[in-house]
Amino acid sequence: MNIRRNTVLVSVVGAAYLVAVVIIIAVRAALFTNSSQILRVAGLIFTGEGALYQILVKALRTDKEIEEASATTFGHLPIGGVLKKETKVAQISMTLILIGFTLQLFGNLS
């Protein structure tokens, strides 16, 4: 990953987190209800952030990364680095989605 793309990714994730906090505060201030609705909204936000993270990382690939993933070679597997990156992205996004699902579940049970 190059520095410019990392900066864009961190900025987007930071903005998504800021929007999530603003939405949670707005819902809490506007509804005056118990915390179960806040948990459900926070869960939806975490689930959305996990999905957006997975999509943005794939959408912001460079041409070099795409070429490396589709290159044909003899004797070695150039896609190994791409597989490691995809595995890390999937782990992070699934963790965010799992946190979101768990928050929604606790919000529905309380």
Residues 48-92: pLDDT tens digits?
Answer: 888 888 888 888 877 887 777 777 766 666 667 777 888 888 888
The contacts of residue 60 (CB under 8 Å, 6+ apart) are 5, 8, 9
Q: How far apart are CA 35 and CA 107, in angstroms?
A: 7
Q: Residue ranges of the domains in the chain? A: 3-109
**Number of other CB atoms surrounding residue 53 within 10 Å:** 20
Residues 106, 38 contacting (CB under 8 angstroms) = no
The secondary structure element, H or E, covering residue 9 is helix 3-31
Residues 14-41: pLDDT tens digits?
Answer: 777 777 777 777 766 666 566 677 778 8
